[in-house]
Structure 1
Amino acid sequence: MTSAPAQQKYVFDPVWEKETERLRTNEAIWDPGTVERLTALGVGPGWHCLEIGAGSGSVVRRLADLVGPSGRVVATDLQTERLRPLAELPQVDVVRHDLRAEELPEAAFDLVHSRMVLQHLPDRPAAVARMVRALRPGGLLFLEDTDSSTLFRSAVSEDFLQDVRAAGYGLMRDAGHDPRGGHVDLHLVLEAGLEATAEGRAVMVRGGSDQARHYMLWLEFMRPRIVATGLLDDARIDAALAEMADPAHRWLSQVLISTVARKAGGTEPGR
C-alpha cells in the first residue's frame, strides 16, 4: 500500500461535489447499522482495523473513536482526497490502494471491513483472499453488500418506482454490478475456509430526506444511459424524481447483508 500525497481541491468541481454528496447520503442510510454492528463485535481500545473503500470517512471516524489512541485504523480508497482531514487523527493512516490488484499487509489487522465494495469488483474471490491474508489469526472479516430486490417496495403501490429500479439496476448489472452481492460475500467467505454468519437489514426511506436524496442522485447519474437505451424517457425520470422528493412517500431500501467471519487461530482481537 502507498501513503497518499497531500492534495487539495482549489476550484469548484461539480462532478466532485456531486460524488461527495452521494457518499454522504449513502452514509446517512447505512452508518447507524454499521456502527451498531461494529460495537456489537467488540471493537475497542488497541484494535488495529482496516477500512477498505473508506469513501468520505464516516466509518473510519467511528473506528478511530472505538480503538482510541492505543489502536490504529488504516483507511484505503482509490481516491483519498476526501479522507485528508482524517490524517490529522494520530491513530489513522490514509492510504491509496486498489484492492483489485494490490496486496495488503499480511496478518496485520484485528478487523477488516468493507461496505459496498466487493459487489462492484470483477474478481471477488481474489479480493476476499487478500482481505483474509491481511487478518491476524483470530481477526474478524466484516463485509457489507446489498441485495437490491427489495428497493422501492412501498405501500403506495406494488409498482412504485419498480420501472426505475429495473432500468437502473439492469444497466448496472450489465456493467458488472452484482444485485446479489451480499449473498455472494457469504459464499466467498465460506469457500475461503472461514466460519461465518450473515444477516440483512433494510431502512424505510422517507421522500425528501437525505436518505431519499441518495436515490435521487443515483437516478440522475443513471439518467443518460437509461434514456439513451430507451428504457425510460426524460418525462418519466422527472416524475420519479418528484416522487422521491415527496415527504408523503416512504419506501424500502435495498437489503444490506452483513457477513462476519473469524480467521482461525490467535487470541482475542486487540490483545
Structure 2
Amino acid sequence: MTAPAPAPDPAPGPVPGYAFDNDSVHAAEQHGCLAAAYDPATTARLERTGVGPGWRCLEVGAGQGSVAAWLARRVAPSGRVVATDIKPGRIPAVPGLVVLRHDIVRDPVPEGAYDLVHARLVLSHLPERRAVLARLLRSLRPGGWLQVDEFDAAHHAALLPADPAARDLYTRFQRAKADVLRAAGGDPEWGRHAAADMCDAGFTEVDPLPRVELWDAGSAGARLQAHHTRHLRDRLVAVGMTDEELARVRLLLADPAFRASSCVFYTVQGRRPAA
C-alpha cells in the first residue's frame, strides 16, 4: 500500500497572538503611517532623557526601524543600538545599529546592559506585558531609562460630518478593531494603565505624558485608520463588519469634511532605581 503523501507545510501567516503581520503586503504602509504620525512625539520625549554619544540602547519591536535609526544617529559614534523584532526583516542597515530576531517574552535579555530601552505599541499586544516590564527593568543599568509609547483606544470620537449614521459607523469600526486586538491577546486601552504598571514593576520617576490631536482626511492618523480596514480586513469581518462597511469607513476618512478626535497616545518614562 502506498503511504499517503505528507501534508504540505502551512502557508506563512501572522504571528500567533498578534493582529499585525510584519510580512504582510500591508506592513510597509502601516509602518509609514505610524512613523509619520508618532515619530515626532516619540523622539521628542526620548531626547529629554539626554540620550547621546556612547549610550547603549535597546529598541523592542522595532518594526521598520525608524526610531532605532534615530537613536543610532544620536548615540554615534561610540554608542550602540540593538533593534529587535520577531520578524526584523524591515529594519534597515544603519551604522551603530545591531538587528536581532528576538521574542521579548521568551528569549534571554542581558541584565544591566542598557542606558535606554524603548518600546512603542508592543507591550499592549502582549498578555505577558507586566512580566516583560520586569525583564526590561533588569535589562537597564541603575538609573537607566525605559520609555513605552502606547494607545488608549477607548477614546475616539467622530466630530464631523454631522451625519449620525456616519458617526455610528465610525464608532462601530473602532469598537470592532478593539475586539480584534482583544481576541489576539492585546489590551487596546493599556496606555492609560502603563504608568501604574511601571510603578508596580519597580520603576521610579514614572512620568506619563498623554497626547490627543485632531484627525482630518489629510492626517497620518486618518491614513492609519484607513490602513487598518485593509490590514485587519479578515479579522474585522470575523467580528461582524462587512466589506461594504469597511469601504464606507475609508470613504468617510477621505472626506475633506471629516474630523475626529484621536485616541490618546501616551509616552511614559521611568527609571531603574539608582541604588
State the one-letter code of the partner of 1:125: R
Distance 1:24 1:150, change over 3 A: same
> Deviations for 1:155-201, whole angstroms, at most 9, x for unmatched residues?
43473611111122123223222022112321221112222121211
Matched, 1:60 2:68: yes
CA distance in 1, matches of 2:268, 2:238: 37
Partner of 2:172: 163
Paired residue total: 249
Distance 1:106 1:15, change over 3 A: closer
Partner of 1:51: 59
RMSD: 2.0
Partner of 2:36: 28
> Deviations for 1:106-129, whole angstroms, at most 9, x for unmatched residues?
101000110000000011121111
Counting only pairs closer than 5 Å after superposition, residues 1-271 of structure 1 correspond to structure 2 as: 16-86=24-94, 89=95, 91-157=96-162, 159=167, 161-195=170-204, 196-229=206-239, 231-265=240-274
Residue range with higher mean Cα deviation, 71-80 or 175-184: 175-184
Superposition TM-score, scaled by structure 1 size: 0.85
Residue range with higher mean Cα deviation, 115-124 or 184-193: 184-193
SS at match of 1:149: coil
Superposition TM-score, scaled by structure 2 size: 0.84
Distance 1:191 1:143, change over 3 A: same
SS at match of 1:17: coil
Aligned residues of 1:209 and 1:247 also touching (Cα < 8 A): no
State the one-letter code of the partner of 1:108: A
Aligned residues of 2:82 and 2:98 also touching (Cα < 8 A): yes
Distance 1:76 1:225, change over 3 A: closer
Per-residue deviation, 1:79: 1.0
CA distance in 1, matches of 2:93, 2:97: 10
Aligned residues of 1:200 and 1:258 also touching (Cα < 8 A): yes
Aligned residues of 1:152 and 1:165 also touching (Cα < 8 A): no
SS at match of 2:208: strand
Aligned residues of 1:76 and 1:94 also touching (Cα < 8 A): yes
Residue range with higher mean Cα deviation, 129-138 or 212-221: 212-221
CA distance in 2, matches of 1:189, 1:226: 31
SS at match of 1:179: coil
Per-residue deviation, 1:101: 0.6
Residue range with higher mean Cα deviation, 194-203 or 52-61: 194-203
CA distance in 2, matches of 1:197, 1:246: 37
State the one-letter code of the partner of 1:148: A
CA distance in 1, matches of 2:177, 2:260: 17
Distance 1:106 1:258, change over 3 A: same
Q: 4+ runs of 1 displaced by more than 6 Å? A: none
